[in-house]
């Protein structure tokens, strides 16, 4: 886990992306947004009233998904720790460097914009009621506030032996950050495990990476052999893309529009890990980053140009994303040389 990570910033970045891209049909987007499953124990859930808008339902599920991802990644980090001291450091860093700063960010956001619960609650019986102009921001802030407290309660209950002495209670967290006692929206999960509603049964699909150009495909740009430095390591990276839900067994990008930026950051990380050649032989011409971008688009059936235009990426953001995802953090490089991301991808 990394102290530069911000759950708060990630959620509001999603919100601003929806504004920039002008998403209209949130019912469709909600249908595409699969509920996250968790193999880990979850003790709590949030029960909160809000106006039955598709957009707010989408935001609620997105935040819930990200909370589950964060919990799972903390579990992975603790499992991988080599000793009890390191496990304590992982947990307490998660609380003090991620949860507490984000609670302060949410509090400041709520105060700055004078957000109130009534802005997003509306009247349940009157679906046609016009929403408050700040309804989306209010819902995001309040739901995120409760999710952060819920995350705190989850990890302190699950790992009491790793916590510092005299950890604050739920009421103390709300009182310290939001100047009120717990509103009672975080309730015990009766089944003590997160059970998502699935539209179709999960089918285990095997995936074996292809060490070369895909069958029945004719590259418009550079070929696999022109670009990929180490087919074995690149194949392992592709298997990780499949395991983490970025591509399916048909080599098709499976994420929604909101995860294209994640896919773009993964591409930057592979470039920096030197998974691709610097030059094409025998011509001995330099390989440009935009040629790698075209390779990604053709191989995984995804258009990244608009995502790249709208998102200027700096090294700090790349490093944060790498640290946030354990599998990327531990992805081996093909050499010691590092290629900087300033190269034009368009």
Which tokens belong to 320?
Answer: 């944060």
Distances (CA, A) of 293 to 124, 209, 219, 262, 345: 47, 19, 13, 14, 6
Q: Is the pTM of this model over 0.85?
A: no
Distances (CA, A) of 19 to 12, 16, 32, 39, 257: 11, 5, 18, 33, 13
Contact 230, 273 (CB under 8 A): no
Q: For residues 268 and 140, what is the distance between their CA atoms, to the nearest angstrom? A: 30
Distance of CA 197 to the CA centre of its chain: 20
DSSP state of 287: P
Query: From first to last of its 346 residues, what are the pLDDT tens digits of the chain?
Result: 443 347 787 787 777 777 666 676 777 777 777 665 555 568 899 998 887 788 888 888 888 888 888 888 888 888 888 788 889 988 998 999 889 999 999 999 999 999 998 888 764 444 456 667 888 889 889 999 999 999 999 999 999 999 988 899 999 999 999 999 999 999 988 755 443 333 334 456 678 899 999 988 888 889 999 999 999 999 999 998 988 888 888 899 886 544 788 899 999 999 999 999 999 888 889 999 999 999 999 999 998 888 888 777 888 888 888 887 878 888 888 864 444 444 444 4
pLDDT, residue 195, reads 39
Q: For residues 180 and 168, what is the distance between their CA atoms, to the nearest angstrom? A: 14
Summarised one tens digit per residue, pLDDT across range 136-186 is: 889 889 999 999 999 999 999 999 999 988 899 999 999 999 999 999 999
With H, G, I as helix, E, B as strand and everything else as coil, classify residue 322: helix
């Amino acid at each position: 886990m990394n102290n530069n990570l911000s759950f708060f910033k990630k959620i509001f970045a999603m919100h601003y992306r929806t504004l920039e891209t002008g998403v209209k049909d949130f019912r469709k987007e909600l249908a595409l947004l699969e509920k996250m499953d968790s193999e880990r124990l979850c003790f709590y859930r949030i029960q909160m009233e809000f106006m039955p808008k598709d957009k707010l339902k989408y935001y609620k599920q997105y935040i819930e998904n990200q909370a589950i991802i964060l919990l799972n990644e903390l579990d992975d980090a603790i499992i991988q720790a080599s000793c009890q001291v390191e496990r304590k450091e992982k947990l307490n860093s998660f609380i003090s460097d991620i949860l507490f700063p984000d609670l302060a960010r949410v509090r400041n956001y709520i105060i700055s914009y004078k957000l109130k619960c009534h802005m997003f609650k509306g009247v349940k019986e009157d679906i046609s009621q016009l929403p408050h102009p700040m309804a989306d921001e209010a819902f995001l802030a309040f739901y995120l506030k409760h999710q952060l407290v819920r995350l705190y309660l989850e990890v302190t209950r699950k790992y009491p032996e790793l916590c510092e002495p005299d950890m604050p209670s739920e009421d103390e967290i709300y009182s310290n950050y939001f100047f009120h006692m717990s509103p009672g929206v975080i309730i015990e999960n009766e089944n003590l495990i997160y059970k998502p509603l699935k539209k179709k049964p999960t089918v285990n699909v095997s995936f074996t990476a292809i060490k070369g150009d895909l069958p029945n495909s004719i590259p418009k740009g550079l070929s696999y052999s022109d670009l990929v430095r180490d087919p074995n390591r690149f194949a392992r990276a592709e298997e990780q893309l499949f395991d983490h839900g970025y591509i399916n067994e048909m080599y098709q990008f499976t994420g929604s529009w909101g995860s294209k930026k994640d896919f773009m950051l993964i591409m930057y990380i592979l470039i920096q890990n030197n998974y691709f050649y610097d030059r094409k032989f025998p011509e001995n011409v330099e390989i440009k980053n935009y040629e790698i971008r075209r390779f990604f688009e053709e191989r995984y059936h995804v258009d990244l140009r608009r995502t790249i235009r709208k998102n200027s990426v700096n090294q700090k953001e790349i490093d944060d994303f790498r640290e946030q995802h354990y599998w990327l953090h531990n992805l081996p490089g093909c050499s010691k040389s590092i290629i900087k991301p300033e190269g034009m991808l368009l």
